[in-house]
A = this chain, B = another copy of it.
């Protein structure tokens, strides 16, 4: 009951104006509201507690994780390690299907292109950033900001072990430098079968009650040996009980709670009506492609998994904005802030125009949306990305991300990734892009003609994918090492195709920065400062895929169907299994049924305020021990993109007791059980 649920939850929301309400907030570690937690739960994390947790948590690509042993063992979700599992799999060994366990330390296998980042320190660089962009507009502002960012991060970083990121909080009102310890040798230790990790699949995704063993274990290595660390979280095999205070430490990716009404209107009326049907069509294509055979299924499983998830998320976001009461609340809040600013002439002079500026930018954004998507953006996929990376590295623009510093490192790293490229999926993806390009811009558009010539979209994709040699890592390396001369001389059809339209792409990007990104950045910063001016700085910033801490309690909720208890149990997993995907249990679980206590808690629900990117975050008790592993939210959590609903928004985690039971009794992972102290 997706639609009804969204309507019902939102009708019950009453969003806080400025001070965050009970359990709300994804707080930075340097501004955690300990006093507030103390008042609500009788416990305040000490500075030592905060420092220890901060150092025990690591960011990994797209997700969060935590150290759970002194030998660098990392706990995260299965879906966070799925990229590694898929990259290590082949037609012969499908670890998503069969699961993976390294019986011995030597069996642990390196995950291609993985890294783990531990936050070491945070410093404020707002003044430096402000000075760099002062008085600048459009792409000049984007350039100045990027140049200062590069200067600050380069000065701070010591590759490969120390990485520094500029973190823009409150839409630019505050800038911080985050310094990370970085591990680039991360290996796969344990992953259960995807069928139990994602039991219930897409139908159960963002639902609770839930029965997933969405866990995996990785290990960080240093100099070829397990990374030794004193900053790790101990395991609590007893878990939690209803009402217990729990924390989630991790890296929420993005929220949009600070957006203005015109920005939200753009999302609701321009962006979602275009993006969601495109995702839906792509989903239909992939679903049908998977019917061809097991190899087609294997090579697109990961893509479809994340697509299904993204689709549900986007629909949830759209539904939230379509709810009139909720949107009305946003309108009312904005009006109140503007009235407050208008009463202070100095503030009004400084910030009063910002909302109208943002509204004007949204109109320009709508006008440039298709150009930005197709001309500046281009197709998704590894092959096109590699070709574009090579062309741009060979012909760098001074201010482009790939020109120097971290951006250049990342671009080289992507190009030299050993992850196998799947030509079937690449062709499907490029053909779909080209089809939509022609559909959205029209067959008579000059850019469309330049790309396709007289070819059909399918033909264009097929010819490029089957004739390029960029699937070959050595070939990519030779072009990269050969520099501009090699690219200019290359007769690789995909390199030539990218090169032939790259000037258009860069011009479109520049125009977008001049007319949209630059002005929007400036005005959004002003709105944030206006908010500080009226409400103070005691609130948390929108999520930015950087380390945050949220607090809450183990607690159920009431759905459209009635009350939902906080815990599910192992027995419920077996009750729910139908023998058919996605409700089909792997053989190991079926075999183990008789030996498992059906009353062991499986998944649990808590009031923590998290979002995508928090996947893999530990659920921590007040003693700093692991009591669970966050992997999802309930359906009411999707509206959390724009505001927190304490009544029904819930974090969904795997219970530490279920993880322990699985490792010891199902997977017989004795080596790891001992390491965890189980």
Which residues of A line the B interface, CB within 8 A? 1-4, 7, 200, 202-204, 207, 269-270, 272-274, 276-289, 291-292, 315, 318-319, 322, 324, 366-367, 369-370, 438-445, 454-456, 458-459, 561, 578-581, 583
Question: Mind listing 29 A-B residue pairs with CB under 8 Å?
Answer: A1-B441, A2-B439, A3-B366, A3-B370, A3-B440, A4-B367, A4-B370, A7-B366, A200-B443, A202-B439, A203-B439, A207-B442, A269-B322, A270-B322, A272-B273, A273-B315, A273-B318, A273-B319, A276-B277, A280-B280, A281-B281, A285-B285, A287-B288, A288-B289, A292-B292, A443-B583, A455-B580, A456-B580, A456-B581
Are A442 and B273 within 8 A (Cβ)? Answer: no
What residue in chain B is nearest A287 (Cβ atoms)?
B285
Are B276 and A278 within 8 A (Cβ)? Answer: no
A277 CA / B318 CA spacing, docked (Å)? 12
| Min distance, Cβ A544 to any Cβ of chain B, angstroms | 28
A273 CA / B200 CA spacing, docked (Å)? 25
Are B273 and A440 within 8 A (Cβ)? Answer: no
What residue in chain B is nearest A292 (Cβ atoms)?
B292
Are B4 and A445 within 8 A (Cβ)? Answer: no
What residue in chain B is nearest A319 (Cβ atoms)?
B273
Are A1 and B285 within 8 A (Cβ)? Answer: no
A273 CA / B280 CA spacing, docked (Å)? 12
Are B580 and A204 within 8 A (Cβ)? Answer: no
Are A203 and B438 within 8 A (Cβ)? Answer: yes
Are A277 and B277 within 8 A (Cβ)? Answer: yes
11 more contacts with CB within 8 A, not counting A1-B442, A4-B367, A281-B281, are: A3-B369, A4-B370, A203-B443, A273-B273, A280-B281, A281-B284, A286-B288, A291-B458, A443-B583, A454-B578, A455-B580
**Number of this chain's copies in the complex:** 2
A269 CA / B326 CA spacing, docked (Å)? 14
A456 CA / B203 CA spacing, docked (Å)? 11
What B residues does A459 contact at CB under 8 A?
580
| Min distance, Cβ A61 to any Cβ of chain B, angstroms | 28
A636 CA / B476 CA spacing, docked (Å)? 47
A4 CA / B454 CA spacing, docked (Å)? 25
Are B273 and A445 within 8 A (Cβ)? Answer: no
What B residues does A4 contact at CB under 8 A?
367, 370
What B residues does A285 contact at CB under 8 A?
284-285, 287-288
A283 CA / B279 CA spacing, docked (Å)? 12
What residue in chain B is nearest A205 (Cβ atoms)?
B439
What B residues does A269 contact at CB under 8 A?
322, 324
**Cross-chain contact of A443 among B204, B278, B456, B581 (Cβ < 8 A):** B204
A618 CA / B56 CA spacing, docked (Å)? 76
**Cross-chain contact of A278 among B1, B3, B280, B322 (Cβ < 8 A):** B280
What B residues does A277 contact at CB under 8 A?
276-277, 279-280, 315
| Min distance, Cβ A576 to any Cβ of chain B, angstroms | 8
What residue in chain B is nearest A561 (Cβ atoms)?
B444
What B residues does A580 contact at CB under 8 A?
454-456, 459
What B residues does A367 contact at CB under 8 A?
4
A82 CA / B225 CA spacing, docked (Å)? 69
**Cross-chain contact of A3 among B7, B274, B287 (Cβ < 8 A):** B274
What B residues does A319 contact at CB under 8 A?
273
| Min distance, Cβ A106 to any Cβ of chain B, angstroms | 40
**Cross-chain contact of A284 among B282, B370, B561 (Cβ < 8 A):** B282
| Min distance, Cβ A286 to any Cβ of chain B, angstroms | 8
A2 CA / B436 CA spacing, docked (Å)? 11
Q: Which 4 A-B residue pairs are closest in the complex by CB-CB distance?
A: A284-B284, A288-B288, A454-B578, A277-B280
What residue in chain B is nearest A456 (Cβ atoms)?
B580
Residue of A283, A367, A442, A459 with most chain B CB atoms under a 10 A cut-off = A442
Residue of A3, A292, A579 with most chain B CB atoms under a 10 A cut-off = A3
| Min distance, Cβ A330 to any Cβ of chain B, angstroms | 15
A600 CA / B492 CA spacing, docked (Å)? 45
What residue in chain B is nearest A265 (Cβ atoms)?
B324
What B residues does A324 contact at CB under 8 A?
269
| Min distance, Cβ A164 to any Cβ of chain B, angstroms | 40
What residue in chain B is nearest A440 (Cβ atoms)?
B2
What residue in chain B is nearest A8 (Cβ atoms)?
B367
What B residues does A287 contact at CB under 8 A?
281, 284-285, 288
Residue of A4, A292, A369 with most chain B CB atoms under a 10 A cut-off = A4
What B residues does A561 contact at CB under 8 A?
444
Are A1 and B370 within 8 A (Cβ)? Answer: yes
A345 CA / B56 CA spacing, docked (Å)? 74
| Min distance, Cβ A265 to any Cβ of chain B, angstroms | 9
| Min distance, Cβ A183 to any Cβ of chain B, angstroms | 39
A27 CA / B360 CA spacing, docked (Å)? 42
Are A203 and B280 within 8 A (Cβ)? Answer: no
Residue of A3, A280, A284, A324 with most chain B CB atoms under a 10 A cut-off = A284
A583 CA / B453 CA spacing, docked (Å)? 12
What residue in chain B is nearest A2 (Cβ atoms)?
B440
What residue in chain B is nearest A279 (Cβ atoms)?
B277
A280 CA / B282 CA spacing, docked (Å)? 8
A445 CA / B286 CA spacing, docked (Å)? 26
